[in-house]
Amino acid sequence: MTAAVLPWVLAMLGAAIFLALYRLVRGPGLPDRILALDTLYVVTTALLIALGIWLDSGVYFEAAMIIALLGFVGTVAFARYLERGDVVE
């Protein structure tokens, strides 16, 4: 049963990625785009785990883990840049 629903789950996650992409391209504001990029990273994490189940393989965990751990550094840097015009003070 899991095998049967997995393509649909992947499709849903794919659709989520494209919705986030839409927001990133449309904007309008910089915070919107940053939020969209952050969402892209988060959905990608989910996608990688789902892929691991689908392919019955553990090799995607590291990538998922890295995004979960460090993916937000980019977001924080963007946000800090908007706030202060500088990343490291």
Partner 1 sequence: MSAPLPPLVDAVVAALLVFGGAFALVGAFGLAKLGDFLKRLHGPTKVTTLGIGSILVASMLWFGLRGGAPPAHELLITLFVFITAPVAAHMMVKGAMAIDDSTKPPPPPERPHDAG
Partner 2 sequence: MLFALIALPFAAALALMLAPRAGRNLSAWTVGLAALAGLAILFVLAPAVFGGEVLRARAPWIEAIGLEFFIRIDGWAWLFAFLVLGIGALIVLYARWYLAPEDPPRRFFAYLALFMGAMLGITLAGNLLLLIVFWELTSISSFLLIGFWGRRHEARAGARMALAVTGGGGLALLAGVLVIGHIVGSYDLDLVLASGELIRSHPLYVPALVLVLLGAFAKSAQFPFHFWLPHAMAAPTPVSAYLHSATMVKAGVFLLARLHPALAGSTEWLLIVSAIGLSTLVLGAVAAVFQQDLKGLLAYSTISHLGLITLLFGLGSPLAVVAGVFHILNHATFKASLFMAAGIIDHETGTRDLRRLGGLYAAMPITGTLAIVASLAMAGVPLLNGFLSKEMFLAETLAFESWPSYQLAVPVLAVFAGICSVAYSARFVHETFFGPKGHPPKTPHEPPRLMRVPVEILVVLCLAVGILPNLVVADLLALGAGGVLQGPLPDYHLAIWHGFNWPLAMSAISLAGGLALYAILHRRGIARRIDLLSRGKIAFEGIVAALIGLAQRVTRTLETGRIQGYLLWLLAFILLVGASPFVDLAAPLSTKPAQPAGPMAVGLWLLIVAGALTVTVAYRRRLVAVIAMGIVGLGVSLVFALLSAPDLALTQLLVDMVTTVLLLMALRYLPAISPPEPERLARWRDGAIAVAAGLGTTAIVYMVLTRPHPSIAEYILATTMSEAGGANAVNTVIVDYRGFDTLGEITVFAIAGIVIYALLDRVRLTALTPFAAKGPAPHSLLLNLCAQLILPLAVAVSAYLFLRGHNAPGGGFIAGLVLAIALILQYIAAGSEWVDERLDHDWNRWIGAGLLAAAATGIGAFAFAHPFLTSSTPHVHLPLVGEIHLASAMGFDTGVYLVVFAACLLMLAMLGKVSRWEARD
Residue 29, H or E segment: none
- Residue 52's φ and ψ, nearest 5 degrees, are -60, -40
Q: What is the DSSP string of 47-60?
A: HHHHHHHHHT-STT
Our finding on whether 81 is near partner 2 (CB under 8 A) is: yes
Which residues between 23 and 82 bind partner 1 (CB under 8 A)?
Answer: 23, 29-32, 34-36, 38-39, 42-43, 45-46, 49-50, 52-53, 56, 58, 61, 64-65, 68-69, 71-72, 75-76, 78-82
Per-residue CA distances from 25 to 18, 28, 72, 82 (Å)? 10, 8, 20, 18
Q: Name the residues that contact partner 1, by CB under 8 A.
A: 1-2, 4-6, 8-10, 12-13, 15-17, 19-20, 22-23, 29-32, 34-36, 38-39, 42-43, 45-46, 49-50, 52-53, 56, 58, 61, 64-65, 68-69, 71-72, 75-76, 78-84
